[in-house]
Amino acid sequence: MDQLIVKGGYPLHGNVRISGAKNSGLPILIASLLSEYPLRVSNIPHLQDVTTALDLLGRLGAKVELDESMTVEVNARRVTNFRATYEIVETMRASILVLGPLLARFGQAQVSMPGGCAIGSRPIGLHIAGLKALGAKFDMEDGYIQATAHKLHGAHIFMDVVSVTGTENLMMAATLAKGTTVIENAAQEPEVVDLADCLNGMGACIEGAGTSKIIIDGVDELHGHSHTIIADRIEAGTYLVAGAATGGDVRVRDVQPENLVAVLEKLNDSGAHISTGRDWVQLNMNGRRPKSVNVRTAPFPGFPTDMQAQVLMLNSIASGTGSITETIFENRFQHVQELQRMGANIAMNGSTAFVTGVDGLKGARVTATDLRASACLALAGLVATSQTVIQKIHHIDRGYNCIEEKLSQLGAHITRVHDSGTTASFSSLYEAV
């Protein structure tokens, strides 16, 4: 398995283009199942999860074409299979998103129950309860959710917990339901808005995306459309934290700064000078040591749980003590033990980590446990003395488009090494999709 080798101590300088958002790209690609006409999606990130989503669509019978500029065209006219298998769902939990579209257009879907997850139990009860309210029937057989429906109908749904993919699944299903659906306590994430924009472009009738109440008037069919997905705000936030941690000066390009407000506020509190333009954010730390910040994760517009590990790492070398409270996932602190092995001073109390900054981290061999934890370890390597080796980096490839190339572009000393000891080239890292 590949490893990342990082030699710390080099402040990051320069600018980096941010890729399309993974969490927009996945639901939007899957939304192609709602129409018999082609959906063209541009700014698709080059990620393992995207490969998995395209593989899933292909297995269902959709025709998938990808061009050099990372534009994907999915034609789901002929869908011959309605089953998302265990091997796919196990590698990508977002596969659950096929449930709503398949039920709405074909009246049937079988999706493997997602198993355990590194960051917590991640139930799907809200997806199922919402789809039941829309008229679907559910059974369970051999570890598979068996869902059927004659014709979905509109319903008034209150979601007990704010769920991003839960909201997306129901929103997609409701586009083809008969009548009006209201989703209350809906997720307000920018990726939900991006999906709604794409669905409206396909002829859906959705209002209120980006607020806690989404209203969907069902239509008879959706048509073809071309959509460009928004930038990945978590990738952008990760490079900005890398700039802050190394005392550097980093500009992220092709982003929507309005989607980064909660993260920018914390970076500002940490002592960074932040400026923004229409589609860029510049962070300048002027060689200063960051100050500790207090963070509590929350659904959008709150501080994203997907940035928790990175900001915890920032606190680990900052001046003072900061608290990091995780409110979304129960087991999302696996990076703490690895950071402690690098010399971080972190005391856990339930779902809060109290982090007292140390003067410097020490390089070590560490193991990535999930996507964002592995990004946090790569950033820790940038500020550590000597060399850090990060193992099991397949997690990082699920969500970061060529992280070592982009960090190198900013002046980091980071290399990917194959098991055999050879340095990997970009083109060999990913299978063609």
Rule CB under 6 A: which residues touch ligand UD1? 23, 26, 94, 122-127, 161, 163-166, 191, 305-306, 328-329
The residue among 181 and 292 lying less far from ligand UD1, judged by its C-beta, is 181
Cis? peptide before 301, omega within 30° of 0? yes
The residue among 126 and 318 lying less far from ligand UD1, judged by its C-beta, is 126
What is the pairing mode between strands 39-42 and 213-217? unpaired
| Contact (CB, 8 A) for 301 and 258 | no
Q: Which of 117, 198, 376, 402 is catalytic?
A: 117
The residue among 40 and 122 lying less far from ligand UD1, judged by its C-beta, is 122
Burial 392-420 (b: 16+ CB within 10 A, else e): bbebbbbbbbbbbebbeebbbebebbeee
Q: Least distance in Å: CB of 192 to ligand UD1?
A: 9
Q: How many CB atoms lie within 10 A of CB 163?
A: 23
| Contact (CB, 8 A) for 12 and 242 | yes
Q: Least distance in Å: CB of 9 to ligand UD1?
A: 31
| Contact (CB, 8 A) for 173 and 104 | yes
Distance CA 57, CA 371 (A): 23
Q: How many CB atoms lie within 10 A of CB 124?
A: 18
- Catalytic (active site) residue 205: no
The residue among 67 and 184 lying less far from ligand UD1, judged by its C-beta, is 184
Burial 8-25 (b: 16+ CB within 10 A, else e): bebbbeeebebbbbbbbb
Q: Least distance in Å: CB of 161 to ligand UD1?
A: 4
CA distances from 226 to 39, 73, 77, 200 (A): 6, 9, 16, 11
N-to-C CA span, the chain: 21
Distance CA 414, CA 49 (A): 23
Q: Least distance in Å: CB of 365 to ligand UD1?
A: 27
Burial class of residue 68, CB neighbours in 10 A (0-12, 13-18, 19+): exposed
The residue among 235 and 338 lying less far from ligand UD1, judged by its C-beta, is 235
Q: Least distance in Å: CB of 328 to ligand UD1?
A: 5
Q: Least distance in Å: CB of 423 to ligand UD1?
A: 30
The residue among 29 and 281 lying less far from ligand UD1, judged by its C-beta, is 29
Tokens of 317: 């070398």
Q: Least distance in Å: CB of 168 to ligand UD1?
A: 7
H helix intervals, 348-409:
371-383, 394-397, 403-409
The residue among 44 and 410 lying less far from ligand UD1, judged by its C-beta, is 44
Phi, psi of 332, rounded to the nearest 5 degrees: -105, 50
- Residues marked active site are found at 117
